Amino acid sequence: MSTIFVTASGTEIGKTFVTCALIHQLRGHGYSIRALKPVATGVTDDAQDLTDSGILLKALGHPIDSERVAAVSPWQFREPLSPDMAAEREDRHIPFDDLVAFCCEETEEDVTLIEGIGGVMVPLDRQHTVLDWIAALSVPALLVTGSYLGTLSHTLTAVGMLRAQNVKLAGIIVNESETQPVDPGETADVLARFVADVPVRIVGRLDTPERTPDLLPLLEPFLSRAAGPAP
Ligand SMILES: Nc1ncnc2c1ncn2[C@@H]1O[C@H](COP(=O)(O)OP(=O)(O)OP(=O)(O)O)[C@@H](O)[C@H]1O
Ligand SMILES: [Mg+2]
């Protein structure tokens, strides 16, 4: 089994969109997938299909019911805040060791995709951040960033933090923002100059994640078996 952690330079950058694209592409090559959004905030009882876990279940081709949602997202909180704050509002906390153990559970699927929450340095509790979570798992990360003004510093800061914890970077996805000062290709070129050993790919504004260009070459070095035939 191979595991990839999908993180980002911030919230609402495109982690779920890119994870759905990966699900589609991996399934198209015959891989079976377990997709997780272990920690989610801003989750209310209505419109489960619009939550990240609902969107991931749909991409997997599974029905969206409470049991499946709980299996994808065991730690859900109502307030749309960072996990530490959202949990405290409910007098709860996220047991870090249990979170790590949940992500490492043995499964029969070929690939486990874990969508993080917010950006790399979001606190999960009073001691741990998303970065600590990725480092504890010892799995490669895919970093999703935007093309908005400010993304260069946000992205390179995130890369620096990931590297400081020896997290392997499978790639950087420049996911086109709604507004941007320059073509995303220019942003990608600058990032590639500063992070020469990590592949950088661009995803444009698309109507569905199924239309995303092929991202599997980024994952291939980390997959435990070669891709099956293309669909
Ligand atoms: N390349 C894209 N083309 C069109 N829409 C996109 C693209 N990427 C993201 N979006 C849309 O932007 C919004 C935010 O994206 P997404 O939910 O994937 O971000 P996220 O990083 O998962 O956010 P969160 O931090 O809440 O988990 C969603 O409505 C999504 O459909
Ligand atoms: Mg998301």
Q: How does DSSP assign 169-224, residue by residue?
A: EEEEEEE--SS-SS-HHHHHHHHHHHSTTS-EEEE---SSGGGS---HHHHGGG-S
Q: How far is the CA of 18 from the centre of ligand 1 (A)?
A: 8
Give domain status of residue 69, yes or no.
Answer: no
Residue 186, domain member (yes or no): yes
Alpha carbon distance 213, 38 (integer Å): 27
- What are the pLDDT tens digits along the chain (231 aa)? 899 999 999 999 999 999 999 999 999 999 999 999 999 999 987 788 899 999 999 999 999 999 999 999 999 999 999 999 999 999 999 999 999 999 999 999 999 999 999 999 999 999 999 999 999 999 999 999 999 999 999 999 999 999 999 999 999 999 999 999 999 999 999 999 999 999 999 999 999 999 999 999 999 999 987 666 655
* Ligand 1 binding site (Cβ under 6 Å of any ligand atom): 8, 11-17, 52, 118, 175-176, 203, 205-206
The tally of domains found in the chain comes to 1
> Are the C-beta atoms of residues 9 and 145 closer than 8 Å to each other?
yes
Is 149 within a domain? yes
Does a structural domain hold residue 45?
no
149: tokens are 């003004």
Q: Check residue 177 and give its pLDDT.
A: 97
How remote is the CA of residue 77 from the centroid of ligand 2, in Å?
14
* Ligand 2 center from residue 14 Cα (angstroms): 7
Task: List the CATH number of the domain containing 116.
Answer: 3.40.50.300
C-alpha span between 216 and 153 (Å, rounded): 26
Q: Domain for residue 50, yes or no?
A: no
* 83, 125 Cβ separation under 8 angstroms: yes
Is 58 in the active site? no
Q: Which domain holds residue 147?
A: 2-34+87-222
Residue 169 lies in a domain: yes
* Number of residues in the chain: 231
Residue 1: predicted pLDDT: 85
